[in-house]
Amino acid sequence: MRGYFVGAGLAIALAGMAGPAMAQSGEIKIGEINSYSLLPAFTEPYRKGWQLAVEEVNAAGGINGKKLVVISKDDGGKPADAQTAANELVSSENVAMLAGTFLSNIGLAVSDFANQKKVFFLAAEPLTDAITWSKGNKYTFRLRPSNYMQAAMLVEEAAKLPAKRWATIAPNYEYGQSAVAVFKKLMSEKRPDIQWVDEQWPPQGKIDAGPVVQAVAAANPEAILNVTFGADLVKLVREGNTRGLFKDRKVVSFLTGEPEYLDPLKDETPEGWIVTGYPWYAIKTPEHDAFLKAYQAKYNDYPRLGSIVGYQTIKSAAAILAKANSTDPEKLIAATEGLQVASPFGEITFRKIDHQSTLGAFVGKTALKDGKGVMVDSVYRKGADYLPSDAEVEKLRPKD
């Protein structure tokens, strides 16, 4: 009896999924995957960003006359589910390329899938260096400035500090570990005189901030590197403020200037942290003005960094598809390597050598203004200036 159910159940379950959707002529589809349900704080603005881009692309006549359609899937924060979604997009929806992802492990899972199935993949947000270097493959490109690039941007400022005793606080997973490792390596190269006096590795999302703050304070560092973000950052800042951890200490912090992470801190934002981020209120370039106006007009909300990433992912994808004038993955790769695209941060290039885009980030200091956290003295750092030499990259990346 049960066995009967096995087959019948399978058949019923799959009947609905059977048969690939017919690709409508006159359309080009992009399959987009992200952790919408797990990380809504980041992915909602991201979604708004790419939706704006789709609108703009189609308003401007689509891709060589064809309408651009983005089919978006949630991966629930699980690599395996991301692959299921990728498979659906490729097999059933016949998308021309895959795009998106936030978490590093999911980016890698989809990148590996793309490599295996020979599908073009434009990774939007994952920061891991592995995706373009140690585990890079010819089908995968990445938009956002990598861990290494952000570390290099921060090190440039951090090395100028007189502080010699440093402590680190980072979430205990690959992102945190490699952020700390790269920062330490680059920093020690520039400043052989510094000492690493303590490191704390709270589990991602589960920081017990009080003891961590105490432990760091006990090591009495002159400066602190922070890699935590989201709710962990809020807890760390609250405990740190109350216990006076940040008083008379310099703090260098990854991503904290991004509105996603800075805004929740409200009037408790610590001042003077050196951070990477996105001061949308302070960027005065025509490209960004145009984006900002369009975004605010459409959503009546201000953009986050996710909005930029989402927007630029689809803008880049559209440029790639237009240049290739084909959905053949090989032609897409050829079109992307060395492609120059306009972005709200200025023109960027997808490097041939490691498939990394040269999109940069803003480096500045945190400050309080009208009871809200902002970035001040921020300067845009071009991604191209913070990548290792070509010879080094060649060594880092396996041959295609």
Could you say which residues in the range 40-59 bind another protein, by CB under 8 A? 40-41, 43-44
Contact positions with another protein (CB under 8 A) in 352-381: none
Task: Give the strands of the sheet with 27-34, arranged side by side.
Answer: 67-74, 27-34, 97-100, 121-123, 140-142
Among 7, 26, 162, 286, binds another protein (CB under 8 A): 7
Residues 142-201 that bind another protein (CB under 8 A): 172-174, 177, 198-201
CA atoms in the 13 A half-sphere facing the CB of 371: 0
Residue reference for tokens 């290739």? 324
Interface with another protein by CB under 8 A: which range of 1-9, 143-151, 153-161, 270-278? 1-9
Phi and psi torsions of 140, nearest 5°: -110, 130
Q: Decide: 361 and 381 in contact? Cβ < 8 Å.
A: yes
Closer residue to another protein (CB): 62 or 176: 176
- Exposure of 237 in the CB half-sphere (CA atoms within 13 A): 26
CA nearest 46: which of 366, 328, 304, 251? 304
Asked if 63 contacts 28 with a C-beta cutoff of 8 angstroms, the reply is yes
Q: Which of 24, 164, 190, 205 binds another protein (CB under 8 A)?
A: 205
Residue 5 touches another protein, criterion: CB under 8 A: yes
For residue 66, the minimal CB distance to another protein (Å) is: 23
Nearer to another protein, 244 or 338 (CB): 244
- Which of 78, 165, 191, 365 forms a contact with another protein (CB under 8 A)? 78
Q: What is the DSSP string of 58-105?
A: HHTTTBTTBEEEEEEEE-TT-HHHHHHHHHIIIIIS--SEEEE--SHH
Alpha helical stretches, state H, 256-385: 259-262, 286-299, 305-324, 329-336
256 in contact with another protein (CB under 8 A): no
Examine residue 231 and tell whether it contacts another protein (CB under 8 A): yes
Interface with another protein (CB under 8 A), residue from 160, 189, 211, 369: 211
Q: Which span sits near another protein by CB under 8 A: 85-93, 140-148, 346-354, 378-386?
A: 85-93
Closer Cβ to another protein, 254 or 345, answer by number: 254
Closer to another protein by CB, 190 or 247: give it.
247
For residue 348, what are the contacts with CB-CB under 8 A and spacing of at least 6? 312, 316, 340, 341, 357, 358, 359, 383
Answer yes or no whether residue 24 interacts with another protein by CB under 8 A. Answer: no
Considering the rule CB under 8 A, would residue 9 count as an interface residue with another protein? yes
Contacting range for another protein; rule: CB under 8 A; set: 100-108, 277-285, 349-357, 381-389: 100-108
Tokens of 222: 């002159």
Binding residue for another protein, selected from 29, 31, 56, 113, defined by CB under 8 A? 113
Contact window for another protein (CB under 8 A) among 24-32, 61-69, 189-197, 231-239: 231-239
